[in-house]
Amino acid sequence: MTSAAITPTGKKRLIKAGWGAAGLLILVLLVFSIIRSLDMVGGNSVADDFEVRYLEHPVVTSLHMLFGMAFILLAPFQFNVKLRARKPQLHRWMGRCLVFVAFAAGTFGIVSIALLPVFGGLASSTASWFFGGFFMISLVLALLRARQKNFAAHREWMIRTFAVALGVGTQRLVLAYFQISGTASFYEGFGPGLWIGFSVNLLVAEIWINLTRRPVKQN
């Protein structure tokens, strides 16, 4: 799908729907981060096999959540066209902070994958490593494109990075569907839910990129 395939009104509606979905995923992640933080502070004594992994490694878990939430809360401002145009210095300053926060979140995320016991079997492990690596690679490519002054490509790689960061939020919704519909238990659906969540987000990101990509000017 390209921006030329739909009307300007349809494009605006799709973009609004996309940001609405992103807002929902941010809310989902924020709620789960708060719940986990409260469990760690309170020392939840009835934690199951899923939660106990985080309780046994509170420092890595807390740092990953802290930097991860900072990234997904700040990133939407960097996609604001009016902010970029009116306050370019602020945009660049926030961008530098955001790259640092994202690298920290990704690094502690990968440490968590290596340190915490696997939950959800092989599907969970492979999804975590694959998309964790994709997040870091996307971030590096976004930074390189910015340094090369290729800001269109920089924006596209940041969209992919942001989409992957929201993947766990989509996974939580998929897991809720699995459990409500009786399709799979939490443990059985955890790994497949990760693959679905990340893959759906990346697919939507590519659609978004094509819808909002500016046409190349012909000489």
Is residue 74 in some structural domain? yes
pTM, full prediction: 0.89
pLDDT at residue 197, rounded to an integer: 96
CB 75 within 8 A of CB 82: no
**pLDDT one-digit tens code per residue, 179-196:** 999 999 999 999 999 999
Range of the domain at 45: 3-212
Kindly give the residue spans of alpha helices, DSSP state H, lying in 116-166: 121-147, 151-165
Is residue 21 in some structural domain? yes
Q: Which two tokens stand for residue 102?
A: 């994202």
The rounded percent of the chain whose pLDDT value lies above 70 is 93
CA dihedral 126, 128, 131, 136 (to 10 degrees): -120
How many independent structural domains does the chain possess? Answer: 1
